[in-house]
């Protein structure tokens, strides 16, 4: 039997251990979660897929969901988040402002998921002259618009451009003839009778979705950012290895039916881990060429492409 003199001490120790257990349960050992800003786009939802499938730990991240890319740009510009999901051209715009960012992962390459939809089944050309085109001109939409016009041998003065802050399904009305948008909006509009007349497959490797992080976060929390990259790679693996299960999980995040998911992802190239390492840090410098192309098109200073990519935060298995 335990001597009576030891019982109070033992009970006290047990009480302390119980309290510590409760505290650890309520406040797990995640002292520095990564703050991520993102918005709805199929490739970006790979992290949601990993979290749903319990392939990533939700305690590692604090996710802020924005209405659009402008929201994510503002969040990382202001320092409210450590990382954001953006297109490469959006990253270059921020760097041109002086925001110190680096691309730490290539999530996907758009190969049909960004598109131009029209009321009629026109083909790029004279059919578009004089048409009213709604576009989020300052973002990827502007790149798509210029590519469409080049394919049509037209200039901006040959069409009526309706600039919008955020492309929504509600903008598909009688006031416009053509809408430049992206998935899942493209699929939703096609169900309403819209016709896809041009898409990002026509401009391969020009619309690249990336994970970007601030210099401060890279220096202060590299392990957390590596876990974030691992989350996206885990989501990609789930999509590749368990497509049926993944379709149901992704459908709720994209507000679509499960059967609509596979056609959407058919318009995305999802680079495997080792290829991402090559893109970001390989001697071939594939992404550097893409960066220069976008920089010149956006008429940005040459410095925006200097040291923009880093493979240092990729999981070691990719190197």
Domain map (residue ranges) of the chain: 34-109+206-318, 114-202
Indicate if 114-202 has the same CATH topology as 34-109+206-318: yes
**Burial class, 6, CB count within 10 angstroms (exposed 0-12 / middle 13-18 / buried 19+):** exposed
Tokens of residue 34, six digits: 């990564």
The pLDDT assigned to 184 comes to 86
**Burial class, 310, CB count within 10 angstroms (exposed 0-12 / middle 13-18 / buried 19+):** middle
Strand pairing category for 61-65 and 34-38: parallel
Tokens of residue 88, six digits: 């490469």
The pLDDT assigned to 318 comes to 47
The pLDDT assigned to 284 comes to 52
Task: Report whether the peptide linkage leading into residue 95 is cis, meaning its omega lies within 30 degrees of zero.
Answer: no
d(CA 132, CA 157): 11
> Are 249 and 92 a contacting pair, CB within 8 Å?
no
Q: What are phi and psi of 126, to 5 degrees?
A: -60, -20
Give the count of alpha carbons within 13 A of 36, CB side only.
27
d(CA 134, CA 139): 13
For residue 210, what are the CA distances in angstroms to 29, 106, 273? 29, 4, 13
Provide the sign of the torsion angle of the four alpha carbons 36, 41, 44, 46, taken in this order: positive
The pLDDT assigned to 49 comes to 97
The pLDDT assigned to 19 comes to 46
> Are 66 and 39 a contacting pair, CB within 8 Å?
yes
Identify the CATH assignment for 34-109+206-318 out of 3.30.70.20, 3.40.50.10260, 3.40.190.10, 1.10.3210.50: 3.40.190.10
- The pTM assigned to this predicted structure is 0.82
Q: Which CATH class is domain 114-202?
A: alpha beta
The pLDDT assigned to 30 comes to 54
Average pLDDT per block of 10 residues along the chain, 319 residues long? 51 50 48 93 97 97 94 97 96 96 96 93 91 86 91 95 81 87 89 93 91 98 98 97 96 92 94 91 72 88 92 79
């Amino acid at each position: 039997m335990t001597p009576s003199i030891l019982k109070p001490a033992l009970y006290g120790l047990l009480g302390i251990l119980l309290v510590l257990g409760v505290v650890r349960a309520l406040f797990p050992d995640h002292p520095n979660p990564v703050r991520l800003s993102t918005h709805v786009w199929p490739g970006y939802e790979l992290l949601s897929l990993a979290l749903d499938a319990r392939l990533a730990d939700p305690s590692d991240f604090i996710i802020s969901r924005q209405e659009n890319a402008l929201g994510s740009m503002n969040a990382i510009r202001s320092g409210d988040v450590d990382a954001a999901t953006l297109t490469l051209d959006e990253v270059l715009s921020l760097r041109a402002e002086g925001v110190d960012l680096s691309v730490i992962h290539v999530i996907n390459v758009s190969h049909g998921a960004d598109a131009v939809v029209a009321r009629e089944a026109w083909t790029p050309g004279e059919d578009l002259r004089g048409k009213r085109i709604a576009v989020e001109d300052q973002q990827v939409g502007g790149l798509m618009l210029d590519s469409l016009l080049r394919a049509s041998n037209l200039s901006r003065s040959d069409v009526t451009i309706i600039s919008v802050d955020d492309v929504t399904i509600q903008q598909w009305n009688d006031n416009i003839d053509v809408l430049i948008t992206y998935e899942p909006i493209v699929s939703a509009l096609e169900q309403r009778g819209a016709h896809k007349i041009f898409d990002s497959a026509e401009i391969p490797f020009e619309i690249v979705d990336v994970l970007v992080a601030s210099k401060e976060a890279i220096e202060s929390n590299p392990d957390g950012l590596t876990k974030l990259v691992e989350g996206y790679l885990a989501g990609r693996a789930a999509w590749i290895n368990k497509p049926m299960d993944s379709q149901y999980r992704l459908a709720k995040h994209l507000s679509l039916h499960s059967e609509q998911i596979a056609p959407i992802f058919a318009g995305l190239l999802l680079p495997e881990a080792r290829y991402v390492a090559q893109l970001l840090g390989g001697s071939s410098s594939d992404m550097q060429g893409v960066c220069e192309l976008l920089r010149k098109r956006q008429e940005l200073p040459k410095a925006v492409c200097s040291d923009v990519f880093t493979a240092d935060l990729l999981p070691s298995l990719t190197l």
